[in-house]
Structure 1
């Protein structure tokens, strides 16, 4: 489960960061769209006001042609323009003689007289106009003059309107303000700065730049409008949504881990059940396979009671035929010996039948000495053929433990066979002994020790001895020791392997006490 936790945390962090990045990108795109929309609105507003300035100049030029007769109407028109359009600061009309000398014939400036430089300034502005089109002339930061010239029968008239650029975006109604925090600049085509409104500064080291730039669609006043914002990416992060998404993602990850844990637990339970079934099948198969190995020992053991039965029966038959005095006691003794040998043969056959059965009775108190003696007797001929000496160390009274006799015999039989196989590698002349030991444990219960004088167990493989299909024997299947562990654990005990004090290997089977 710990191995799945780190990838899950990394996945949660990646998903949360991706959501934060996506939310930030969306909010940046929304801020960009708002800035573009605001820029287009201001662009339209400036174009409308530029057209208004052209219209004012056209109206003034219509009356300026009739001066001095039209002075009063011109004054009324100019006063109305200045009153209703505060951004128009002044209106001037100058007459230009054939010699090129200008004379101011109309103005809304109280401080301008006919002999001042006002007429010259108006004339210079009008001289820059081409084909009677207005030409904006910068007058410094925040102001510019819109000039135009017209001709009539009496000569040339130079007209000019002075515009306060700072008021271009001050609407008569509540419109025209730029987006909050945006820096707004307005330039003439030659780069002259007419208007600058500084908004918020860069938003720290993680600032992003949003910009809008567009020309004003006016032939007479081709100004350039720019809007710019530099918000911080940190400020654009939708922290509330990110926190909500992170919590939801954490819940999903937790549910996923819980589901993964439950599935793994279910798989582990199924695997254990399958292993249990497999172990049961292996145990049954092991008992069946062991029958072949034990057949010679069982046949040898059965030969003894059967031979005794035959000889005793023949003796009894001769006594019965003779019919002499005192033969009755001898006949009774022969018959009692026959009964004992028949019971012994029956016990051997019953044990063989239980060994082959697939279902075994539950553990019960068993004397371990009898188990070890029986296994040693069954394997005596095979051990003798191999040149292996089996030594029994059985205290009296016999240690008693909870076990199932057939399973306990199978465990000891497998361990004895493994020990004998390990002795095959001993050099000639080396001792070939296997010890079978029964011991009572101080805290209750008992243990069985199977110890050999073989080469011992390599430390590198000790932890793998009881794993299924692991073997160090050529041609081995790796099922004997796992089967032993399964049978011992089924009886409520434990098995372990260790190095014997005098060299070789020792397997220790610990079983619970009879009173447990």
Structure 2
């Protein structure tokens, strides 16, 4: 009887194990298919990134040639303007000449205006391509122990003339304790500089348009020690007293190609966030309309 009990126990165990094994097999198979699909998607995205990066480079080279030639044409037009005779003064009652009969200087002025516009648009396209290449390209960090307080001091000295020109009061408030992180100083400076430039532009534009804002055009660069999940961190605040950011805009500002500024490429903040994330950090923002915004870069210490 004991053997029969054992037999039935084993049989029942096998019968119970079969559905479990079948379910586990199906889940494993489904998981493998999902991983394969993700791998194919990642491969296609990598190929697309390589293609678009190469395309941007191919466009940038002839665009630079176009820009150079436009500049040379502008110089030739300026030289031509110096040797053309001055237009005659119209007599009383004389009608303005038709376009095809306009004096040479007036026709030259129209050509100069068009070439100036062409030069501006060429420069804008070049800037867009450079922003794209910075955003889409690989980021290779030259990590080294970096004192963020010293880095912020250097950045303040560098940015002070631009702040003065924009009539923005630049202030630095650094934590008393050392703030050492493993970082690429040049790329981290670039990320912070992008935030400072954006803040300056926002305050200047609000002042020119007489929009509600914090009112005193003050830009503060501040460091503070903090913790997250038991890990020591350092936070760098870029705080302005500008117009703030509307909630519907705030949720989009890190999306590539979204820009609330006329003529902006929409890649400045996404590139900044990418540089911060490459340093294992985070970039967050808190904004109050008509009071200002606070962008915070948080990095692990050590």
Q: TM-score, normalised by structure 2?
A: 0.54
- The answer on 1:410 being equivalent to 2:198 is no
1:232-262 deviation digits (Å, cap 9, x = unpaired) = xxxxxxxxxxxxxxxxxxx9xx989965762
What is the DSSP-based 3-state SS (H/G/I as helix, E as strand, rest coil) of the residue aligned with 2:40? helix
Mapped partners of 2:186, 2:159: distance in 1: 15
Q: For 1:185-224, what aligned pairs fall within 5 Å after superposition?
A: none
What is the DSSP-based 3-state SS (H/G/I as helix, E as strand, rest coil) of the residue aligned with 1:426? helix
Structure 1 unaligned spans of 5+: 1-250, 286-357
User: How much has 1:463 moved relative to structure 2?
Assistant: 2.3
User: How much has 1:365 moved relative to structure 2?
Assistant: 2.4
Q: Which of the two has higher C-alpha Rg?
A: 1
Deviation above 4 Å: which 4+ runs of structure 1?
254-261, 272-279, 358-361
**For the Cα contact (< 8 Å) 1:403–1:511, is it kept in 2?**
no
Mapped partners of 1:396, 1:274: distance in 2: 47
User: How much has 1:402 moved relative to structure 2?
Assistant: 2.3
- The answer on 1:437 being equivalent to 2:222 is yes
User: How much has 1:455 moved relative to structure 2?
Assistant: 1.2
Q: For 1:105-254, what aligned pairs fall within 5 Å after superposition?
A: none
- Return the structure number with greater helix share: 2
- The answer on 1:497 being equivalent to 2:285 is yes
Q: Which residue of 2 aligns with 1:235?
A: none
Mapped partners of 2:52, 2:234: distance in 1: 28
Q: Which residue of 2 aligns with 1:271?
A: 45
Mapped partners of 1:423, 1:379: distance in 2: 15
Structure 1 residues 398 and 500: CA distance shift in structure 2, 3 A: farther
Structure 1 residues 474 and 397: CA distance shift in structure 2, 3 A: same
User: How much has 1:398 moved relative to structure 2?
Assistant: 3.1
Query: Residue 263 of structure 2 is aligned with which of 455, 475, 486?
Result: 475
How many residue pairs were aligned? 188
Structure 1 residues 485 and 260: CA distance shift in structure 2, 3 A: same
Question: RCO greater where, 1 or 2, for CA within 8 Å and sep 6 or more?
Answer: 2
1:450-472 deviation digits (Å, cap 9, x = unpaired) = 01111112111222211111111
Structure 2 unaligned spans of 5+: 1-24, 61-137
Query: Residue 262 of structure 1 is aligned with which of 36, 55, 63?
Result: 36
User: How much has 1:502 moved relative to structure 2?
Assistant: 8.7
Mapped partners of 1:414, 1:374: distance in 2: 15
1:122-171 deviation digits (Å, cap 9, x = unpaired) = xxxxxxxxxxxxxxxxxxxxxxxxxxxxxxxxxxxxxxxxxxxxxxxxxx
What is the DSSP-based 3-state SS (H/G/I as helix, E as strand, rest coil) of the residue aligned with 1:441? strand
What is the DSSP-based 3-state SS (H/G/I as helix, E as strand, rest coil) of the residue aligned with 1:379? helix
**For the Cα contact (< 8 Å) 1:451–1:500, is it kept in 2?**
no
Mapped partners of 2:295, 2:158: distance in 1: 20
Q: TM-score, normalised by structure 1?
A: 0.33
User: How much has 1:278 moved relative to structure 2?
Assistant: 7.7
Structure 1 residues 366 and 395: CA distance shift in structure 2, 3 A: same
